[in-house]
Amino acid sequence: MRRKIALIGGGQIGGVLAQLIAAKELADVVMVDIVEGLPQGKMLDIAEAAHIGRYDSSVNGSNSYEALENSDICIVTAGVPRKPGMSRDDLLSINSKIISSVAENIKKYAPNSIVIVISNPLDAMVTLMQKVTQFPHNRVIGQAGVLDSSRFATFLAWELNVSAKDVHAMVLGGHGDTMVPIIRYANVNGVPAQELLERKHGEKAKDILDAIIKRTRDAGGEVVALLKTGSAFYSPAAAAVEMAEAILKNQRRVLAIAAFLNGEFGVSGYYMGVPAILGENGAESVLEFQLNEEEKQMFEVSLNSVKKNVEDMKRLGF
C-alpha cells in the first residue's frame, strides 16, 4: 500500500518538504494551505518535474482539510513568522490559534496519523498539538533537535576540515537560545571532537568550541539576518524528512527530537529535545543517559524557557 504524507502549510518549508519527499519516493504527498492556489501551484510544479526526476509519488495541493484523509504522517509548518512590531505574545497568540485549528482538523481527518510539528515557538506548538488532538504522546513530536544537531555537526566539520557525514554531535533541550549542545560525546566517527580541537588549537580550543556553540545557538537568526525576509527552510525541511523516513520505514533511528517526557532526564509533563528512537509508532522510547553537572544546569535553564513558553500560551487561553 502506498504511504501518504500530509503537509499542513505550503510556505517555504512546505515546498522543500514536498520536493524532497517526492524525489525520494518516500510517500504520496498532499499539501494543504489556506492561500488559494498556493498548494495547487507548488504541487503542480513538482508533479511536472516527475518525468525528469524519475519519481512517481502522487503530489497534490488543496485548500481543504479533507485532503488529510488516510495520511500516515502530518508535517505541520502552518503559522506566521514574527513581523516587525509584533510582540512575542502576539506571535504566540496568532500561531496558537492556527495550530489549534490545524490540530482539530488532523484529529478529524487523520486520526491515526503521526504528527511532526515544525511551527514555532516549537515547544509550545507541539504541546498544543497534543493537547487538542489528544493523540498519545508518541504520535505527536516536534522537529528541532535534528536540525540543531546538524548545524552543530556542520560547524564542527568545517572547523576540523572533515566530512559533515562523519561528525556525530547532538543538541538537546528546547529549541531556542537555551539549547544544550552535548560536547562531551561529539565525535568524528568515534574520534573525540574535543580532543581533535585541542590537538589542533592547543589553549585556543576552548574559545573555538565556545564560538561553535554560540553559532549553533544563533544559527536560525544568522540565516534570518542574511535572508532578511523569512527564515531557514532547506535545513528544517531536510530534518523533518529524516524523521518521517525513520517512521515510515520503521528504521528505529536515534534522533534528537522534541518528545514528551515522563520523568526522563528528571522532567515530567513537558516536551523537550532528547534522543529518542523513531519507528513505526513515532517516538518509540526516549534514550536517557547521565548528564554531567554543567549539562544538567543547561538543561534546567532550557526547561525553564520551555515552561515559560507553555505557561504564556496557557495565559493567552490555549
Q: Which residues are catalytic?
A: 175
Residues 121 and 95 sit within 8 Å (Cβ to Cβ) = yes
* Cis check: omega of the bond before 111, within 30 degrees of 0: no
Residue of 57, 77, 113, 133 interacting with ligand APR (CB under 6 A): 77
* Nearer to ligand APR (CB atom), residue 233 or residue 299: 233
Q: Under rule CB under 6 A, which residues in 14-33 are in contact with ligand APR?
A: 14, 32-33
Asked if 119 touches ligand APR (CB under 6 A), the answer is: yes
The residue type at 79: G
* CB neighbour class for 125 (10 Å; exposed up to 12, middle 13-18, buried from 19): buried
Grid cell, residue 111, equals 486520526
Q: How far apart are CA 203 and CA 264, in angstroms?
A: 36
How many CB atoms are closer than 10 A to CB 183? 20
**How many residues sit close enough to ligand APR to count as binding (CB under 6 A)?**
26
Tell me which of 4, 5, 7, 11 binds ligand APR, using CB under 6 A.
11
Q: Cβ of residue 239: shortest distance to ligand APR, in angstroms?
A: 10
Supply the minimum distance, in Å, between the C-beta of residue 80 and ligand APR.
6
Q: Interacting stretch for ligand APR, rule CB under 6 A, among 11-19, 165-173, 278-286, 287-295?
A: 11-19
For 195, the enclosing helix (H) or strand (E) is helix 193-201
Kindly tell me which residue out of 60, 70, 187, 231 binds ligand APR, with binding defined by CB under 6 A.
231
Cα distances from 311 to residues 116, 239, 316, in angstroms, run 22, 27, 9
Candidate residues 98, 183, 256, 258; the one interacting with ligand APR per rule CB under 6 A: 98
Q: Does 61 bind ligand APR (CB under 6 A)?
A: no
Q: Which three cell numbers stand for residue 299?
A: 538543561
Cell of 63: 485548500
Q: Is 176 in the site for ligand APR (CB under 6 A)?
A: no
Q: Is 236 in the site for ligand APR (CB under 6 A)?
A: yes
Q: Estimate to the nearest angstrom the gap between the alpha carbon of 122 and the chain centroid.
A: 8
CB of 17 to ligand APR, least distance (A): 9
Residues near ligand APR (CB under 6 A) are 8-14, 32-35, 38, 77-79, 81, 98, 101-102, 118-120, 230-231, 233, 236
